């Protein structure tokens, strides 16, 4: 087997990235200052298609809405499906449609922060676009980054995508009810996660039933 690893500049996007990433990081720092000024704790939720980002946010909202005033930003390429589900659960939702973009960025989040009354909220849950490659490079200014993987993401999801976990504080292993149907071991995934980042807090969950939501809230200090 031969392996090709492109040199710098050979991937079309790569030379442009340095400036974009620096500018994004500056804006993320600004977002963090704005959030801190208003005593809002923000969590950025990343995960692949159907990992369970929306239902996890729905469960957190149901659990915490008596304790915190919750805002949510729902990032999605084209639809409002997720935003509607989160709104039903009791959060104030702002939908961010990214069109063809594969990730939120700090600029979009800043625009969203300017669109809500920040004094009305204590917690902000941000749902990123559904994949675990692009969002990793774009911090948004949140206090914690959370990655959701699901047993249906298969046995190699952690090994193939280490970067997204290295920047996260909490990882959720979701759909633990499907261990038998998928033949995927939650134990193995947890071991792999902790190899990538030993300080990661790992929570097992079934985001459809809400099992594990209280443990997740605790891991997020919410």
List residues binding its own copies (CB under 8 A).
1-6, 10-14, 16, 20, 23-24, 48-50, 76-81, 83-84, 87, 93-102, 105, 107-108, 111-112, 115-116, 129-134, 136-137, 150, 152-154, 156-157, 159-163, 178, 181-182
Q: Which is nearer to its own copies, 5 or 199 (CB)?
A: 5
63 and 70 in contact (C-beta within 8 Å)?
A: no
135 and 46 in contact (C-beta within 8 Å)?
A: yes
Q: How far is the CB of 164 from its own copies (least distance, A)?
A: 10
- C-alpha 192/C-alpha 194 separation (Å) is 5
Q: How far is the CB of 218 from its own copies (least distance, A)?
A: 27
Q: Which is nearer to its own copies, 10 or 36 (CB)?
A: 10
- C-alpha 143/C-alpha 125 separation (Å) is 10
Q: How far is the CB of 199 from its own copies (least distance, A)?
A: 21
Question: Quick one: how far is CA 194 from the chain centroid?
Answer: 18
Residues 6+ apart with CB under 8 A from 10: none
Q: Which is nearer to its own copies, 161 or 201 (CB)?
A: 161
Q: Which is nearer to its own copies, 50 or 118 (CB)?
A: 50
Tokens at 159, concatenated? 């090994």
As a whole number of Å, the end-to-end CA separation of the chain is 48
Q: How far is the CB of 78 from its own copies (least distance, A)?
A: 6
């Amino acid at each position: 087997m031969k392996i090709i690893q492109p040199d710098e500049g050979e991937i079309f996007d790569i030379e442009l990235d340095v400036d974009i990433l620096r500018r994004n990081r500056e804006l993320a720092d600004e977002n963090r200052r704005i959030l801190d000024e208003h005593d809002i704790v923000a969590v950025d939720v990343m995960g692949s298609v159907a990992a369970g980002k929306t239902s996890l946010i729905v469960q957190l909202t149901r659990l915490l809405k008596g304790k915190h005033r919750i805002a949510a930003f729902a990032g999605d390429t084209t639809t409002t499906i997720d935003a509607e589900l989160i709104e039903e659960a009791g959060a104030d939702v702002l939908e961010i449609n990214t069109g063809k973009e594969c990730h939120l960025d700090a600029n979009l989040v800043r625009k969203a922060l300017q669109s809500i009354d920040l004094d009305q909220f204590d917690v902000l849950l941000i749902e990123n676009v559904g994949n675990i490659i692009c969002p990793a490079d774009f911090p948004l200014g949140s206090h914690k980054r959370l990655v959701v993987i699901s047993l249906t993401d298969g046995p190699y999801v952690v090994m193939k995508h280490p970067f997204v976990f290295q920047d996260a504080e909490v990882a959720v292993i979701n759909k633990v009810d499907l261990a038998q149907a998928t033949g995927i071991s939650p134990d193995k995934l947890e071991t792999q996660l902790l190899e990538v980042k030993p300080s990661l807090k790992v929570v097992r969950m079934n985001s459809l039933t809400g099992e594990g939501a209280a443990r997740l809230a605790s891991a997020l200090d919410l």
